[in-house]
Amino acid sequence: MSLDLELDDAGRAIADAVAAFARDRCPEQAIRAGAGSFAREPWQALAELGILALATPEGDGGALELAAAMESLGAALFPGPLAASFFATQVLPDEERAAVARGEALVSLAEPPLLPFGCEADVILAVREGRAVRLAPRGTPEPVGTLGGEPWGRADCDVTEDLGDASRALALHDLASACYLAAAARKLVDATAEHVRSRKQFGRAIGEFAATRAAVDAAHACHQLFGAVGITLEGPVFHVSRRILQLASQPPTLSEARERVLLDWNLGEEAR
């Protein structure tokens, strides 16, 4: 059974409202300037919209509404432990769940000794053998620098409570993460596409140099994701990637790209 995440009118309304909120309360320049710290005010304002309460008994909506909100937040690069919060609201007792949904309690979903948002977190959780558990750090977490500038911490932890089966919580966590990352990746692709259309080298748009390599990389990645069916003649993608490889290797085109196609193809043949 598959899950249909196509947005209806209500979902699009949520996406538009969250996108407008993110532009207003957390513009991109503020995200860049705030690297290394966490601003509680935008986080609590997000909670006031009811976003952190999605898929809880007190909140509205479910997976579809969660996907709509997370896509807009991902496109805006909105900071904070979003997926961890949705995990927490599925496993915490009622009072703590409400505090997370109101933006009052910040969650770290951790794999000790690394604690995402660990220097700011009010609740630290982990997954052990499919079950949610509560952690207590042994002492004050030590700040850790991160690529994204998030305030992570480092500390050894003890399990203090078993909070039960984590299946539903993990499903919502993974959905939230996937939607956020897909939207952030789309933002990156759009920005890159605009750059390669307008930026020129040697009198040519740099997109002319990059398109072949990007298409070849996509062909190989898609084969990996489809598995065996990706390389069968009757499969859904082989005819597409075969055409890409052919076009990338024929003249007139970049000799470097042509050599890379042939090298990758020969290595694949040897592996088989």
What is the pTM assigned to this prediction? Answer: 0.77
Residue 151 pLDDT > 70:
yes
Identify the pLDDT of residue 265: 56
- Give the range among 5-14, 75-84, 228-237 with minimum mean pLDDT: 228-237
Provide the pLDDT confidence category of residue 233 given band limits of 50, 70 and 90. low
How many CA within 13 A on the CB side of residue 56?
26
How far is residue 35's CA from residue 42's CA, in Å, rounded to a whole number? 14
Identify the pLDDT of residue 33: 46
Residue of 158, 46, 173 whose CA lies nearest to 109 = 173
pLDDT tens readout for residues 4-63: 657 778 888 999 999 999 888 775 545 554 555 678 889 999 999 999 999 998 888 888
Residue of 157, 172, 171 whose CA lies nearest to 126 = 157
Residue of 215, 60, 233, 79 whose CA lies nearest to 149 = 79
Residue 108 pLDDT > 60:
yes
Mean pLDDT score, 108-112: 96
Residue of 188, 180, 185 whose CA lies nearest to 81 = 180
Identify the pLDDT of residue 168: 95
Angstrom CA distances, 142 to 59, 151, 153, 155, 164, stand at 35, 10, 5, 7, 29
Average per-residue pLDDT for the chain: 83
- Give the range among 95-104, 125-134, 140-149, 206-215 with minimum mean pLDDT: 206-215
Q: Going by C-beta distance under 8 Å and a sequence separation of 6 or more, which residues neighbour residue 217? A: none
How far is residue 138's CA from residue 124's CA, in Å, rounded to a whole number? 12
Provide the pLDDT confidence category of residue 256 given band limits of 50, 70 and 90. low
Q: What backbone torsions phi and psi does residue 228 show, to the nearest 5 degrees?
A: -60, -35
Residue 1 pLDDT > 50:
no
- Give the range among 33-47, 140-154, 190-204 with minimum mean pLDDT: 190-204
